Amino acid sequence: MTSFTLPPDYPRIQRVNSFEELVSTPFARGVNAFCWPRTLPGDFSEVVELLGGGEGIVTLDDTRLLALPVSAAGRVAVDILLADQRRLREHDLDPVLNCIHGYPRDEDAGPVSTDVFSFHADSATVAADTWLCTYHGAASEGLRNDEAQRRVDLPATRAELLRQFGGEDNEEFREYLKENCYDLHYAPVPLARPFSFGLGNLWRIATDYPGCPVPPCIHRAPATLPGHPPRLLLIS
């Protein structure tokens, strides 16, 4: 596993040194992402190979993982996959482990594509964070808030959305943007420097919910390309 460095000079990400610190530190002073950097032992590629081919998103349960005929190194990986989920469940979270061969694309995107390949903020109606760890394959990517512009604020995009909406730029229109999740998607500014979440690192990132004390962490799924290994992703 290659060594991982957090993006330099970006105060919104705070590195933590343990799971306990990751789970208990509140988002404050503009920090909207906590990263617990880890170099994990174990052979995750063996796990992915044993899972075999597939399509789309395959959710893996504990029983299936435990039934894989893994080597000792594969067993270490399986144990980590199970332990991470157990830890999150112990904190009343509901983690899901996915083997991702591909995501559905927003085929009929219109002026704002709203699939996971587009930089976006997760949203919630109540206080909630997103947890992410990529164990294998291409890692999730982040975009600095100061290098992101809401797509609905780009004049040409807003004009097109207004045309589609067929009304005035008023409260009703803003509600329309919200209902369609258009207001959660961001465009990188020219010369933006997206960063990788890396492999093995466990992240807790801020979402967009009423009263969230910090701006949401903007992120996206990397492109899943034919012939590339599937991703193994923990998400909660």
List all residues 6 or more positions away from 38 whose beta carbon is below 8 Å from its beta carbon: 200, 201, 202
In the complex, minimum distance from the CB of residue 132 to Fe ion, in angstroms, rounded to a whole number: 8
Per the CB < 8 A criterion, the answer to whether 13 and 7 are in contact is yes
The answer to whether 129 contacts Fe ion (rule: CB under 5 A) is no
Q: How far is it, in rounded angstroms, from Cα 124 to Cα 120?
A: 13
Stretch that binds Fe ion, among 39-47, 83-91, 115-123, 209-217 (CB under 5 A): 115-123
Q: Which residues contact 112 (CB under 8 A, 6 or more apart)?
A: 118, 151, 152, 157, 161, 180, 182, 185
CB of 52 to Fe ion, least distance (A): 27
Stretch that binds Fe ion, among 37-45, 118-126, 190-198, 223-231 (CB under 5 A): 118-126
Nearer Cβ to Fe ion (123/164): 123
Structure tokens belonging to residue 203: 């992240």
DSSP label at 11?
T
Could you please report the per-residue DSSP string of 206-220? E-B-TT-SSPPPEEE
How many of the chain's residues bind Fe ion (CB under 5 A)?
1
Identity of residue 129? D
Contacts of residue 227, Cβ cutoff 8 Å, sequence gap at least 6: none
To Fe ion, the closest distance from the beta carbon of 74 in angstroms equals 29
Nearest CB to Fe ion, comparing residues 84 and 129: 129
Per CB under 5 A, does 183 bind Fe ion? Answer: no
Instruction: Point out the residue whose Cβ comes nearest to Fe ion.
Output: 122
Alpha carbon 163 to chain centroid, angstroms: 31
Min. distance of Cβ 120 from Fe ion in angstroms?
Answer: 6
Mark residues 67-106: x for contact with Fe ion by CB under 5 A, - for none.
----------------------------------------
- Cβ 221 to Fe ion shortest distance, Å: 7
CB 84 → Fe ion: shortest distance, Å? 18
Task: Indicate the residue among 46 and 186 with the shorter CB distance to Fe ion.
Answer: 186
Under the binding rule (CB under 5 A), the answer on residue 122 touching Fe ion is yes
Q: Which of 117, 38, 52 is nearest to 81 (CA)?
A: 38
Q: Which residues contact Fe ion (rule: CB under 5 A)?
A: 122
